[in-house]
Structure 1
Amino acid sequence: MLESPIQSKVHDEARQGEALLLEKEPGKGRRKLYIESYGCQMNFSDSEIVASILLDNGFETTGYYNDADVVFINTCSIRENAEQRVRTRLGDFKRAKRENPGMIVGVLGCMAERLKSKFLEEEKLVDLVVGPDAYRDLPNLIAKVEDGNRSVNVLLSREETYADISPVRLNSNGITAFISIMRGCDNMCSFCVVPFTRGRERSRDPESIVKEAKDLFEAGYREVTLLGQNVDSYKHKGENDEEIVNFAKLLALVADVSPLLRVRFSTSHPKDITDEVLHTIAKYPNICNYIHLPIQSGNSRVLELMNRTYSREWYIDRINAIRRIIPDCGISTDIISGFCTETEEDHQDTLSIMDLVQYDYAYMFTYSERPGTLAAKRYEDDVPEEVKKRRLTEIVHKQRGHSLFRLENQIGKVHRVLIEGYSKKSDQDYCGRNDQNAMVVFPKGSYKIGDYVNVIGETCTSATLIGRIID
């Protein structure tokens, strides 16, 4: 949910983990840390917090797990496939540990909280297990392992936001960065494990968020993405219970850091996104005209079973508000095929709402029952896998057409693009995203990474807008 949407691609929550590298000169005598992160943007942001904590405790990061003294895998529990990939990767680390017996292997994040006993006792794959709210305890837990004990801390917190920790920017392009504005989730969607693995919702104080944005801007960053499981429910009281800062006000505060600092956010919830937020986006040119608004299903009965707390009609009203207040807004979504009891008529409702909205991008996947969720306790996972997959194929096919249509409508228009790096296919081309979050590729000319340029769209694929820089 929290990842930058990928055009017309079936989303795999357990995408290949990435080694996160700290760009710094190695220090003498420092121990080496290797981290792989899977799943949502929040996990990648958390890994930057972990790196910061351990940097202050004598570590440096490495891109090679065979060279590491401590190996962490930051995990996702959204889908079964995610957990299988993590187990496979832990097997690789276990083999590496045979050649380096002093290596410490640990699991962080959502799987750590959910499967702590399996990892530590039954399968003995790891030395320590640490949940999302316990990263400050890592130096102590590592010390316990070095003393010959397995360690675990998966306690959830009602207060922890890591607001005072300056994240180490890992694998960074130096241009874009994430800022976590809140943790946990109070929405009890019946298919989701997040409330159980990340705890109750709590918001960071706005002062620390704005300071982090200012520090990033002064360091040369030109785009920040505000992260939360449900950013629209952000709420923080001022000192002495003064005026409450809601998400609309927070957006304005961050946008005011500089007109050259682009602001994005993820993820919104249809029940909470307000006209005030939409008008704030419309008011500030540097708040990108792009909203990720998960629908999950186009059928009100299924939405009720999912405990999404909105109907098809409510969702359409929010879409209409977006189109009215921000006419050129890009919209992406999440869609689940084959949720419990979903009929062909329910599936057709999902296809029809896709036709109505015509999303720019979508995350699309089949329902995967997660142990411990409300759906697993209350409902039978009764839609056959072949039916789920066939419905997903229809959803993907439709979305590819909509993605192409939305990009074709951007041909001939001039787009303000922040240059993020080189194109994957050629070092003679740059790439960056426009206001609507579409990836744009263009000849690099005399500009440099981090510059804003005006690009006219000339052609496109279903995933990329292709153009050239104009003065």
Structure 2
Amino acid sequence: MSKTFHVTTFGCQMNEHDSERMKGMLGSLGYTEASEQRDADLILFNTCSIREKADSRFISYLQLAASYKRARHGDVIIGVGGCWAQSVKDEVFRQFPYVDVAFGPGQVHKLAEFLTSDSLTAQGFFEFEGFTGHLPAARERDFQGWVQISAGCNMKCSYCIVPSTRGRQVDRPLDELVAEVREMVAGGVTEITLLGQNVNAYGRAIAPPAPRSSFAALLHELDAIDGLKRIRYTSPHPQDMKEDVVLAHATLDSVMPHMHLPLQSGSSRILKAMRRTYSRERFLDRVALIREHNPDIALTTDIIVGFPGETEADFEETLEVCEEVGFDGAFTFIYSPRRETEAAEFVDAFIDHEVAVARMDRLVEVVQRRANERAQRFVGRTLDVLVEGPSRTDPSRLRGRSGHGKTVNFTGLAEAGEIVPVEIVRATSQTLAGEMSLLARALV
């Protein structure tokens, strides 16, 4: 019988992509996927270390895996990959002696080397090797795919652990990316999401002899691929949001009318302490430029509440920016100190948790109210929706995603992977509701 594996993924879309590569690699080694952790011969965790909550959740899962291993008298391999593993590389085996293999996010391929070695003694793989993603991927959906265009990050945000867990930025050659996407499209992919820690800084860190490029140039090259319907990307940095990328949204049919532009704080003073390399004014200037060329674009963002030293006045500035911009959605977080980051040393300036929670509640109210107001512009319109499957709340309806990145629940008959016109009848801050147009139903 073939051996089985189970992967639990924490964190960002880059981690989701890495997990797909783990699954594809394990499939090529003859492993099959188990639906439950307890039934697997190989239990893997792809970890995140951006926030303390992710650490705590992962450790509880890891302890459960250890209990399964004990119940089977050690006849289970436990592996830990990703950013958390990289951040505690010197301690992982001492703290968790039941772990058999640990590897950083740039060392996914080393898992195969470990599993096929003659002796399965505990091993750790933590070297930075740039991009190591030439592995088969087991995608969740045949029509959607991740494309990692770079690895690492050269920014030095004072709160962020990513540069120490993923290394400095390394970009893949443009021709290599175009060839990969062509192959994906030939295999049935119609929507891709480009991934990078600072995705719109792409092109400056391509190793010679391949020529340097730009993110806008990459978008143009990919847009020219027949059969590729949708291009998304995450996450850009406001510092590197240049007019050529903004114009690509306006002129290229496949580049979706959605941009995730992290704000983090509306206070220039706090942004400076975060080492974000832009001010409140610069961020608002970028928003104005984006909306000048793309008035209907959906803008989403990230915001951190309770960063060390944040005063009530600083927080009020964040609320003001949210009111002024009117984001279509936001990921909001209470600041969490991360090991080996500059901000973790600002102990004397830490914000009381109760204060941070109260500010978070106020922020969420503003974000959701403005997002709900923004969403009403879709009511009465017909949007192209990429069908992803049945609705999670009502199996008799379908669920998909509009070009603006909004989840749409609707009535109609269509197969996953189809792009269908949907008349929007209701909108909330989170989702849209609608019906397939009568013309679309007649054609099905």
TM-score (norm 2): 0.94
CA distance in 1 between counterparts of 2:203 and 2:309 reads 36
Mapped pair 1:61 → 2:33: yes
Partner of 2:418: 451
Report the Cα offset of residue 442 of structure 1: 1.3
Mapped pair 1:465 → 2:432: yes
CA distance in 2 between counterparts of 1:240 and 1:140 reads 29
CA distance in 1 between counterparts of 2:349 and 2:88 reads 22
Letter in 2 for 1:341: G
Report the Cα offset of residue 355 of structure 1: 0.6
Mapped pair 1:386 → 2:362: no
Task: Write out aligned runs for 1:254-273 (5 A).
Answer: 254-258=222-226, 260-273=228-241
Report the Cα offset of residue 237 of structure 1: 7.9
CA distance in 2 between counterparts of 1:35 and 1:382 reads 36
Letter in 2 for 1:461: T
Letter in 2 for 1:462: S
Partner of 1:52: 24
CA distance in 1 between counterparts of 2:143 and 2:169 reads 29
Aligned Cα root-mean-square deviation (Å) = 1.9
CA distance in 2 between counterparts of 1:244 and 1:137 reads 29
Task: Write out aligned runs for 1:385-464 (5 A).
Answer: 385-445=353-413, 447-464=414-431
Partner of 1:127: 100
Give the counterpart of 2:158 among 169, 187, 190. 190
Partner of 2:85: 112
CA distance in 1 between counterparts of 2:164 and 2:207 reads 30
CA distance in 2 between counterparts of 1:189 and 1:238 reads 22
Structure 2's unaligned 5+ residue stretches are: 440-444
Q: Secondary structure at the residue paired with 1:327?
A: coil
Report the Cα offset of residue 260 of structure 1: 4.8
Is the 8 Å Cα contact of residues 177 and 225 (structure 1) preserved in structure 2? Answer: yes
Mapped pair 1:165 → 2:135: yes
Report the Cα offset of residue 219 of structure 1: 2.4
CA distance in 2 between counterparts of 1:267 and 1:330 reads 14
CA distance in 1 between counterparts of 2:344 and 2:205 reads 36
Task: Write out aligned runs for 1:319-398 (5 A).
Answer: 319-378=287-346, 380-398=348-366
Partner of 1:8: none
Is the 8 Å Cα contact of residues 331 and 359 (structure 1) preserved in structure 2? Answer: yes
Give the counterpart of 2:275 among 307, 310, 320. 307
Report the Cα offset of residue 455 of structure 1: 1.5
Q: 1:257 to 1:154 in 2, by over 3 A?
A: same
Q: 1:238 to 1:343 in 2, by over 3 A?
A: closer
CA distance in 1 between counterparts of 2:337 and 2:208 reads 44
Letter in 2 for 1:131: G
Is the 8 Å Cα contact of residues 176 and 420 (structure 1) preserved in structure 2? Answer: no
Which consecutive aligned stretches of 4+ in structure 1 deviate over 4 angstroms post-superposition?
Answer: 236-243
Is the 8 Å Cα contact of residues 141 and 152 (structure 1) preserved in structure 2? Answer: no
Give the counterpart of 1:77 among 44, 49, 55. 49
Report the Cα offset of residue 441 of structure 1: 1.6
Partner of 1:147: 119
Q: Secondary structure at the residue paired with 1:319?
A: helix
CA distance in 2 between counterparts of 1:84 and 1:243 reads 43
Identity fraction in percent: 33
Partner of 2:244: 276
Give the counterpart of 1:247 among 215, 234, 248. 215
Report the Cα offset of residue 259 of structure 1: 5.5
Q: Secondary structure at the residue paired with 1:356?
A: helix
Report the Cα offset of residue 450 of structure 1: 1.7
Relative contact order, CA 8 A, sep 6+: which one is greater?
Answer: 1
CA distance in 2 between counterparts of 1:314 and 1:378 reads 26
CA distance in 2 between counterparts of 1:168 and 1:466 reads 31
Q: 1:274 to 1:190 in 2, by over 3 A?
A: same
CA distance in 1 between counterparts of 2:300 and 2:291 reads 13
Report the Cα offset of residue 56 of structure 1: 2.9
Is the 8 Å Cα contact of residues 270 and 293 (structure 1) preserved in structure 2? Answer: yes
Q: What is the CA deviation profile of residues 433-471 of structure 1, one whole-angstrom value per residue up to 9, with x for unaligned ones?
A: 1121111121123x3222221222111233111112223
Q: Secondary structure at the residue paired with 2:109?
A: helix
Is the 8 Å Cα contact of residues 119 and 125 (structure 1) preserved in structure 2? Answer: no
Q: Secondary structure at the residue paired with 1:315?
A: helix
Partner of 1:32: 4
CA distance in 2 between counterparts of 1:242 and 1:180 reads 17
Structure 1's unaligned 5+ residue stretches are: 1-28
Partner of 1:205: 173
Q: Secondary structure at the residue paired with 1:416?
A: strand
Deviates more, 1:428-437 or 1:240-249: 240-249
Report the Cα offset of residue 191 of structure 1: 0.4
Report the Cα offset of residue 133 of structure 1: 1.5
Report the Cα offset of residue 206 of structure 1: 2.1
Letter in 1 for 2:88: L
Letter in 1 for 2:309: T
TM-score (norm 1): 0.89
Letter in 1 for 2:293: I
CA distance in 2 between counterparts of 1:259 and 1:379 reads 53
Q: Secondary structure at the residue paired with 1:126?
A: coil
Give the counterpart of 1:138 among 84, 89, 111. 111
Is the 8 Å Cα contact of residues 35 and 71 (structure 1) preserved in structure 2? Answer: yes
Report the Cα offset of residue 44 of structure 1: 0.9
Report the Cα offset of residue 381 of structure 1: 4.5
CA distance in 1 between counterparts of 2:431 and 2:333 reads 22
Give the counterpart of 1:214 among 182, 189, 199. 182
Partner of 2:13: 41
Q: What is the CA deviation profile of residues 274-301 of structure 1, one whole-angstrom value per residue up to 9, with x for unaligned ones?
A: 1001111211122101100000000001
Report the Cα offset of residue 202 of structure 1: 0.7
Q: 1:52 to 1:259 in 2, by over 3 A?
A: closer
Is the 8 Å Cα contact of residues 161 and 202 (structure 1) preserved in structure 2? Answer: no
